[in-house]
Chain A
Amino acid sequence: KQEVTQIPAALSVPEGENLVLNCSFTDSAIYNLQWFRQDPGKGLTSLLLIQSSQREQTSGRLNASLDKSSGRSTLYIAASQPGDSATYLCAASGPDMRFGAGTRLTVKP
């Protein structure tokens, strides 16, 4: 069974900092890795999806990388803003889709 781990569990940074969120997964036979954002009490919003054949994907200030052989993905957020404060979740998709526990990010003005 796929197990997904996210580090750190929580992160607090001042506005403007660049930061990295980490995701690791135990079974490298995935189809793709998807990063989501979740605001308190809300559903999940897809940020980036990296297919198993890709190494990275970019959207605005977000960049996600995937190293399937080592079972790792990172989400890089450039020039963080208070509006980035949320929980960030990664999900590994194979026959099913499994999530990590998330990283709760707080960006202080």
Chain B
Amino acid sequence: EAEVAQSPRYKITEKSQAVAFWCDPISGHATLYWYRQILGQGPELLVQFQDESVVDDSQLPKDRFSAERLKGVDSTLKIQPAELGDSAMYLCASSLRDRGFVEAFFGQGTRLTVV
């Protein structure tokens, strides 16, 4: 069964260091999402791609976060420099968008701890 792949599963980094997360969506899914989920809260959309284009990054802290999806397939989310408040689960999802039908599938997430 096709899955969304994310790596690493866990990451511990020191404050002010750079960190990167990788996501490989389900083959053929044009839409890719990155979410941040703080413990006890719902996922918050950081950035949404349609193919290689960003369609929504209104909640992405652009002074320290960047995201790219070269060639419209896999994607990387980067944080530089990391801050203590960035500790969270980072979730990637992908979906088809077919005549208004959107079914999203999620990866297992990357748990980031900033110390």
Note all chain B residues with C-beta closer than 8 A to A49: 103
Nearest chain B CB to A89 CB, angstrom units: 6
Instruction: Assess the B104–A93 pair: CB atoms within 8 A.
Output: yes
Note all chain B residues with C-beta closer than 8 A to A102: 41-42
Cβ of A83 within 8 Å of any chain B Cβ, yes or no, is no
Pairs across A and B, CB under 8 Å, 26 listed:
A31-B102, A32-B102, A34-B102, A41-B111, A43-B91, A43-B108, A43-B109, A44-B91, A44-B93, A46-B105, A49-B103, A52-B100, A89-B43, A91-B104, A93-B95, A95-B55, A95-B56, A96-B45, A96-B55, A97-B93, A97-B104, A99-B35, A99-B42, A100-B42, A101-B42, A102-B42
Query: Number of A residues contacting the other chain (C-beta, 8 Å)?
Result: 26
Task: Kindly state the separation between the CA atoms of A91 and B104 in the bound complex, as whole angstroms.
Answer: 10
A residues lining the B interface (CB < 8 Å): 4, 6, 31-32, 34, 36, 41-46, 49, 51-52, 89, 91, 93, 95-102
B residues lining the A interface (CB < 8 Å): 6, 33, 35, 41-45, 48, 55-56, 89, 91, 93, 95, 100-109, 111
Note all chain B residues with C-beta closer than 8 A to A6: 42
Task: Kindly state the separation between the CA atoms of A98 and B33 in the bound complex, as whole angstroms.
Answer: 11
Q: Could you list 9 further interchain pairs (A-B, Cβ under 8 angstroms) beyond the known A95-B55, A99-B42? A: A31-B100, A31-B102, A43-B108, A49-B103, A51-B101, A93-B104, A96-B45, A97-B102, A101-B41
